[in-house]
Amino acid sequence: MPRKNRLWREGSILHITVRGNRKEDIFKSQEDYCVYLRNLQHSIKFYNNEFQILSYCLMTNHIHLQIETKSVHIKKLMGKINTFYAKYFNNKYDYHGHLFQGRYGSRIIDSDSYILEVSRYISLNPVRANIVDKPEDYKWSSYPMLIGKKKEKLINSDRILSYFIQSKKRELYRMYVEDAMR
């Protein structure tokens, strides 16, 4: 039976999730996280910056990406990233079989409030998983970049921060995210 096509349209923003098969770890070392992020960056360049990462979080057994697309379908980017990473992981750990649990999940983000809500959800993932107490302490998330604690790499924070007063945008975003922890 053929699979259903994913909902997508030019210029859409999506919340992408990728989970390890049987909820197993897909990152076992710091090198694994770095390889995934480098591959993501190279893949975006390969497609001539047709994609922008708004926020991300790499957890041990799953991934969250908030991606804005232009004219190239998201399946191209995700196919390239996931195929490369699965080959890398399987080779490194002598793993056989599927690394990921089925296809990646994708949901179109269709409102400004939902853009912010998804970004906050992604940023708080390590806190809710009891890995860190504060979201800025998690190394494999875009949150420290969004609040100005780390130099911005890979992401484009303009879209998310545009909803806040420009002179205080990073602090106001921080308050927005951390309000959900109370």
| Residue range 85-134, pLDDT digits in tens | 999 999 999 999 999 998 899 999 999 999 999 999 999 999 999 999 99
Number of domains within the chain? 1
**pTM, full prediction:** 0.94
- Is there a domain that residue 64 lies in? yes
* Cβ density class 68-80: b for 16+ within 10 Å, e for less: bbeeebbeebbeb
Residue 5 lies in a domain: no
Residue 66: which CATH number?
3.30.70.1290
Q: Is residue 6 part of a domain?
A: no
Structural domain span for residue 45: 13-179
pLDDT tens for each residue of 21-80 = 999 999 999 999 999 999 999 999 999 999 999 999 999 999 999 999 999 999 999 999
Local structure of residue 152 (DSSP, 8 states): -
Residue 119 resides in a domain = yes
Structural domain includes residue 144: yes
Residue 126 is assigned to a structural domain of this protein:
yes
Residue 138 to residue 57: CA distance in whole angstroms: 9
CA distances, 40 to each of 11, 23, 77 (Å): 19, 21, 8
What is the distance between the alpha carbons of residues 44 and 52, in angstroms, rounded to a whole number? 8
The two tokens of residue 106 are 């994708």
Confirm whether 41 is domain-assigned. Answer: yes
Assess if residue 37 is contained within a domain.
yes
- Gap between the Cα atoms of 53 and 14, Å rounded: 10
